[in-house]
Amino acid sequence: MENNQDLKKIAGESAVNLVKNGMVVGLGTGSTVYWTIKKLGNLVKNGLEILGVPTSYQTEILAIECEIPLTTLTEHPDLDIAIDGADQVDSNLNAIKGGGAAHTREKVVACSAKKLVLVVTKEKVVPKLNHFVPLEVLPYARPLVEKQIKKLGGNPILRLGKSKYGPVITDNGNLVIDAHFGIIKEVKKLDNALSKCVGIVEHGIFTNADEVHIGSKDRVEIIRR
């Protein structure tokens, strides 16, 4: 049985082949894109010239450790490519992200990039999305958001911290509600409905991936839109 970290590593490193000299690169968050950032750091030390835009404090710290020069969307609003992980991806390249509570910044970066590439292991790829959808929510709006999610047929659950008491707080100072919908039959319909909910800063459905790099035993499978 293959080691899951090995699958994450080959998927994460595969996307690095798309990064060229002079690019501005959106740097995602998570345990698979970790390997992307580590690989980019090694290439930078060997002469690759890029600028990175991190999607979280965690990624910013890692990129600095890897000596990747960083910039901001204010300085570079148009990115050449964004590379990120995902909690789940379907056969149409729709994805659910936000297990690390960074999906708002991840979506901002993804929508600022000419190309979005997701890196995942094979068990993350499913025929139909059925993962809970993370929602970044204004604390003041939590009761309203929960009511709206129930009207959409979902079960909203406030995400609690694992290493501290109380709820998870995002890098933007907001709460995270995980909305459970079961199998999502109409992804874009739910995407649009969640986007209209008052109090949700951003949700974790992504419909704009251009490529998915899937780590499986001894190889990487690439799906393109």
Name the 3-class secondary structure at 28.
coil
Q: Which residue has tokens 């139909």? A: 128
Side-by-side strand order, sheet with 125-126: 125-126, 88-90, 95-96, 205-206
Strand order from edge to edge, sheet including 200-203: 155-158, 175-180, 133-137, 200-203
Burial classification of residue 142, based on how many CB atoms lie within 10 Å of its CB (0-12 exposed, 13-18 middle, 19 or more buried)? middle
- Partnered with residue 82 across adjacent β-strands are 26, 116
DSSP state of 16: G
Say how far apart CA 55 and CA 159 lie, in whole Å. 20
* Catalytic site residue from 106, 136, 146, 211: 106
Known catalytic residue at 123: no
Residues taking part in catalysis:
106
